[in-house]
């Protein structure tokens, strides 16, 4: 009888354990249904207006490269090159009507038309890669970058002033607008600071897209004895490079590293990295910080110069490095002058 009673106890105990296990299992979380996948929000469309050809190996090419970076990131992009000033407003409006969320106008001359069109398309953002118009009423959907190109121009002036042998230096600009005047003045100030005997002879051609005018201006400067010429003239600058190559005159480029255009003659180039500035606008839109005027220069990584040629004296390289460091650390401010101080 004892064995039967013991067996009965084991049976009851096992039954209790089995029931407890079932209760615990029943109390566990029920499997959740798979979450429905939601489509990622569509990225906005981005358009760009260029004042010159996208293949100018300088100002316009740099912006175009920024647009292509955005395309590689998944944005739908479009661009129109060589837009005449008279057609800028219409070009802005055409892209806005097609639903482009961000339109980039590449240059100071796009400022006034941008502000006019943006007031009619509140859901469209317009970014102008240039200084904002003086005394203009700003709009929340328009952004400007006031790039301190003159800081880079000052470094280029150090290079020219400490490399010239004739003490005559040419400078060819595109148009007489604030940024161009500031660049020419800063370049001239730097030359004077490192070489008081040297003179800068500037010519403002009145065009960013006329290589023939650039060649004509550079030829006149070469005939005047210039042994170094800097240009800040976009496609017009291609004519400057052509003239300098014909006479074996040293060069300083603009808009991008232009050493490939004249490997034996290009001392350096002034580089406004507006591809970086343009790609950063999408981040500002996402963060809700788009708009206003962004002042940016060397310390922001927007302005710099290309690696210096072997033809640049070591003393000039050292001076450039020191001044650049002083600018970044706030120990030196490049003069910001909006008038002609060169020899016309």
Task: Output the pLDDT for position 20.
Answer: 45
List every span in the chain annotated with CATH 3.40.50.2300. 45-148+275-298, 150-271+304-328
What's the rounded Cα separation, in Å, for the pair 184 and 254?
Answer: 12
Q: Does domain 45-148+275-298 have CATH number 3.30.310.50?
A: no
Q: For the whole model, what pTM was predicted?
A: 0.83
Q: For residue 20, give the 3-state DSSP assignment.
A: helix
> Which stretches within 224-267 are classed as H helix?
236-247
- How many Å apart are CA 308 and CA 296, to the nearest integer? 23
Contact between 321 and 163 under an 8 Å Cβ cutoff? The reply is: no
User: DSSP readout, 157-191?
Assistant: HHHHHHH-SSSEEEEEES--SHHHHHHHHHHHHHH
CATH of 150-271+304-328, one of 3.40.50.300, 3.20.20.140, 3.30.360.10, 3.40.50.2300: 3.40.50.2300
pLDDT of 321 reads: 98
Q: Is 128 helix (H, G, I), strand (E, B) or coil?
A: strand
Residue 41's pLDDT is what?
Answer: 58
| Strand extents, DSSP E, 11-138 | 45-49, 76-80, 102-105, 125-128
Beta bridge partners of 251: 229, 266
pLDDT at 57: 87
pLDDT at 150: 98
Residue indicated by tokens 């003086």: 134
What is the Cα–Cα distance from 210 to 277, expressed in whole angstroms?
Answer: 26
Sign of the torsion angle spanned by Cα atoms 49, 52, 56, 60: negative
Mean pLDDT by groups of 10 residues along the chain of 344 residues: 44 46 46 49 88 91 92 95 96 98 96 96 95 88 95 99 99 94 98 98 95 98 98 96 98 96 98 87 93 94 97 99 98 96 81
**Cβ neighbours of 26 (radius 10 Å):** 8
């Amino acid at each position: 009888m004892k064995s039967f009673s013991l067996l009965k106890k084991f049976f009851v105990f096992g039954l209790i354990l089995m029931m407890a296990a079932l209760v615990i299992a029943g109390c566990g979380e029920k499997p959740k249904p798979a979450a429905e996948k939601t489509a990622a929000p569509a990225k906005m469309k981005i358009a760009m207006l260029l004042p010159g050809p996208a293949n100018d190996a300088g100002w316009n090419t740099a912006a175009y490269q920024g647009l292509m970076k955005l395309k590689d990131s998944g944005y739908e992009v479009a661009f129109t090159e060589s837009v005449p000033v008279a057609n800028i407003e219409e070009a802005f409006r055409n892209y806005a009507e097609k639903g482009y969320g961000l339109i980039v106008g590449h240059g100071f001359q796009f400022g006034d038309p941008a502000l006019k069109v943006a007031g009619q398309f509140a859901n469209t953002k317009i970014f102008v890669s240039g200084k904002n118009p003086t005394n203009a009423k700003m709009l929340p959907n328009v952004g400007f970058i006031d790039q301190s190109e003159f800081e880079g121009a000052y470094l280029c002036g150090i290079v020219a002033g400490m490399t010239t042998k004739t003490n005559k230096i040419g400078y060819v600009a595109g148009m007489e607008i604030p940024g161009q005047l500031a660049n020419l003045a800063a370049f001239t100030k730097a030359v004077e600071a490192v070489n008081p005997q040297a003179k800068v002879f500037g010519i403002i051609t009145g065009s960013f897209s006329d290589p023939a005018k650039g060649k004509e201006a550079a030829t006149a400067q070469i005939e005047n004895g210039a042994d170094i010429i800097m240009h800040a003239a976009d496609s017009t600058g291609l004519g400057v490079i052509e003239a300098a190559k014909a006479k074996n005159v040293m060069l300083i480029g603009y808009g991008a590293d232009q050493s490939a255009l004249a490997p034996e003659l290009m001392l350096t180039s002034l580089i406004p990295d507006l591809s970086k500035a343009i790609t950063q606008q999408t981040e500002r839109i996402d963060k809700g910080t788009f708009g206003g005027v962004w002042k940016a220069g060397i310390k922001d990584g927007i302005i710099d110069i290309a690696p210096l040629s072997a033809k640049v004296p070591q003393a000039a390289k050292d001076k450039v490095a020191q001044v650049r460091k002083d600018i970044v650390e706030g120990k030196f401010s490049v003069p910001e002058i909006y008038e002609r101080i060169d020899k016309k």
